[in-house]
A and B are shown apart, each in its own frame.
Chain A
Amino acid sequence: DAGVIQSPRHEVTEMGQEVTLRCKPISGHNSLFWYRQTMMRGLELLIYFNNNVPIDDSGMPEDRFSAKMPNASFSTLKIQPSEPRDSAVYFCASLTWVAGGKPSEQYFGPGTRLTVT
């Protein structure tokens, strides 16, 4: 299995530009999570989807951030307009449900390092 795939791995953009981060979860996984990691705030959950439906977006910082999951194999996190304080590593993770209705572990992608100048 290829694991969770994220693209791009690195993104450098200027303040005010639109940024789109992409994630392909592990095939068969039906829950997907977007996290942001910074030195100051650590690893924070931004939003998660269950069966392509957003369940909890309370971690999304502000209206400049939006996330979509048009199908089971693809999700995007968009920042428009981007600001220097958005600089961070953004991770996508996915999980499936095992026997007994319990979640499996979360499998993380390699992350996208975003730098906004």
Chain B
Amino acid sequence: TQLLEQSPQFLSIQEGENLTVYCNSSSVFSSLQWYRQEPGEGPVLLVTVVTGGEVKKLKRLTFQFGDARKDSSLHITAAQPGDTGLYLCAGTNSNDYKLSFGAGTTVTVRA
């Protein structure tokens, strides 16, 4: 059983469309991270959110941490083929730096 549930599992959209990926948990996390993983490579950190209600923007990517620090979302505006990849959320608690990963959302952006 995963602590973090991601939805949807798969997402296929046309270039230029918007998309949102969700990450939900019944547990409270001190921080939550989003990673992108491309085939044959390890995950690469995109952002860390630590404050409930926090919103961070990274170019066309917008990340939000829920007020209760149990959920998060990743929104991509005007998606491009280069955004294709596996998006993973991971939570950590203040007691240690172990990461608990969600199962991931596979995003495919068609040209």
Please give the residue numbers on chain A whose beta carbons come within 8 Å of chain B beta carbons, in ascending order. Answer: 4, 31, 42-45, 48, 56, 91, 93, 95, 103, 105-106, 108-111
Instruction: Specify which chain B residues have a CB less than 8 angstroms from the CB of A91 in the assembled complex.
Output: 42-43
Bound complex: CA A103 to CA B31 (Å): 12
Interface readout for B31-66 with A: 1 if CB under 8 Å, 0 if not?
A: 001000000111111001000000000000000000
- Does B88 sit at the interface, judged by CB under 8 A? yes
- Does B102 sit at the interface, judged by CB under 8 A? yes
Bound complex: CA A110 to CA B39 (Å): 10
Say how far A9's CB is from chain B's closest CB, in angstroms.
Answer: 8
Say how far A74's CB is from chain B's closest CB, in angstroms.
Answer: 18
Main secondary structure of the interface of B (DSSP, over half): loop
Bound complex: CA A91 to CA B102 (Å): 16
Is the beta-carbon distance between A106 and B99 smaller than 8 angstroms?
A: yes
Bound complex: CA A45 to CA B99 (Å): 8
Say how far A75's CB is from chain B's closest CB, in angstroms.
Answer: 15
Is the beta-carbon distance between A56 and B98 smaller than 8 angstroms?
A: yes
Is the beta-carbon distance between B102 and A42 smaller than 8 angstroms?
A: yes
Is the beta-carbon distance between B88 and A106 smaller than 8 angstroms?
A: no
Is the beta-carbon distance between B98 and A45 smaller than 8 angstroms?
A: yes
Bound complex: CA A31 to CA B100 (Å): 17
Is the beta-carbon distance between B40 and A43 smaller than 8 angstroms?
A: no
Instruction: Specify which chain B residues have a CB less than 8 angstroms from the CB of A108 in the assembled complex.
Output: 42-44
Say how far B31's CB is from chain A's closest CB, in angstroms.
Answer: 10
